[in-house]
Amino acid sequence: MTDRVEGTGADESSTADGLTALSPAEGGDLLEGDDKARSVQSMFDRIAPRYDMVNRIMTFRLDVRWRRKAVRELGLADGSTVLDLACGTGDLCIDLLDADLAPIGMDFSAGMLGSGRSGAPLAQADVLRLPVPDASFDGVTCGFALRNFTDLHAFFVELGRVTRPGGSIALVDAAEPENRILRFGHSIYFQKIVPKIGGLLSDKSAYGYLPKSLAYLPAPEEMIASLNSAGFNDARRQLLFGGAAQLITGTRS
């Protein structure tokens, strides 16, 4: 049975009342601010029941490999406490437990938390205002969610606040290949095929948003500079599977 911890960090943009069913790419335009927050939360509540299945199919199970690499890159000792943000149904929490680490998962989607299957403690919370003390975790992970936050720099600052000096972060997300030929193939698959898979198996509007959401990510050098300013002086970015995904790591100074 899942140990559910009541969160205290969610604001009005993270509540379940009065949410629109629109995707965060309404009419082809990407939403911002509170509109984006409400739409993202509603979207993940809707797709939670089949989220894991669709992920496995559309990534050919490579998402499993990428998350396990993120856990290894943390380089933490057994028993270290790790905060898994935007934890979803708990994939990273399971991998953290398998690595003898002690995760706590947080997500602002009640639907995702309700579909959780890791057995780790869970809380509903706003990642920009986490309900935890300063320097309270040895590590922080986040899987495939950076594009969904309303203020990425504020998120990085919050990572710096909650991570202990010497602690580490591992953030994995989708990316776009740098190689022109790979980028062309990736564009066809990500923009044409992935939405069809998602539409057949889950929610058409949600998986139509997915390829568009890459536009929310700043340039790689901007993300690294932002992490540096948040206290992760050695932050670096690795491309995975030819650039279809990226892993960002760093140590809290």
pLDDT over 60 at 201, yes or no: yes
pLDDT at 25 over 90: no
Candidates 145, 201, 152, 204; CA nearest to 21 is 204
- Model confidence at 30, pLDDT cuts 50, 70, 90, reads confident
Query: 1 pLDDT exceeds 50?
Result: no
Residue 28 lies in a domain: yes
Q: Residue 11: its pLDDT value, please?
A: 37
Number of structural domains in the chain:
1
- State the average pLDDT for the chain: 90
**Band of the pLDDT at 16, cuts 50, 70, 90?**
very low
Mean pLDDT of 176-189: 95
Label residue 24 by pLDDT band (50, 70, 90).
Answer: low
Helices 220-229 and 152-162 cross at an angle (nearest 10°) of 40
**Position 7 pLDDT exceeds 80:** no
What are 54-106's pLDDT values in tens digits?
999 999 999 999 999 999 999 999 999 999 999 999 999 999 999 999 999 99
CB 158 within 8 A of CB 137: no
Residue 79 forms part of a structural domain: yes
**Is residue 217 a part of any domain in this protein?**
yes
Q: Which of the four pLDDT bands, split at 50, 70 and 90, describes residue 139?
A: very high
Place of tokens 């335009």: 29
Model confidence over 143-179: pLDDT tens digits? 999 999 999 999 999 999 999 999 999 999 999 999 9
Q: Provide DSSP, the chain.
A: ---EEPP----GGG-STT-----TTGGGPPP-HHHHHHHHHHHHHHHGGGHHHHHHHHHTTHHHHHHHHHHHHH-PPTT-EEEEET-TTSHHHHHHHHTT-EEEEEES-HHHHHT--S-S-EEE--TTS-SS-TT-EEEEEEES-GGG-S-HHHHHHHHHHHEEEEEEEEEEEE---SSHHHHHHHHHIIIIIHHHHHHHHS-HHHHHHHHHGGGGSPPHHHHHHHHHHTT-TT-EEEEEGGGTEEEEEEE--
Structural domain includes residue 112: yes
> Residue 97 belongs to what domain range?
4-178+206-251
Domain annotation covers residue 183: no
Question: Rounded to whole angstroms, how far apart are CA atoms 115 and 65?
Answer: 22
Q: What is the CATH number of the domain that holds 221?
A: 3.40.50.150
Predicted confidence (pLDDT) at residue 19 exceeds the cutoff of 50: no
- 8 A C-beta contact, residue 250 and residue 237: no
Q: Which of 132-136, 188-192, 205-209 has the highest mean pLDDT?
A: 132-136
CA distances from 141 to 17, 55, 90, 205 (A): 28, 18, 12, 27
Q: Which amino acid is at 21?
A: A
pLDDT at position 234 over 60? yes
Q: Is residue 195 part of a domain?
A: no
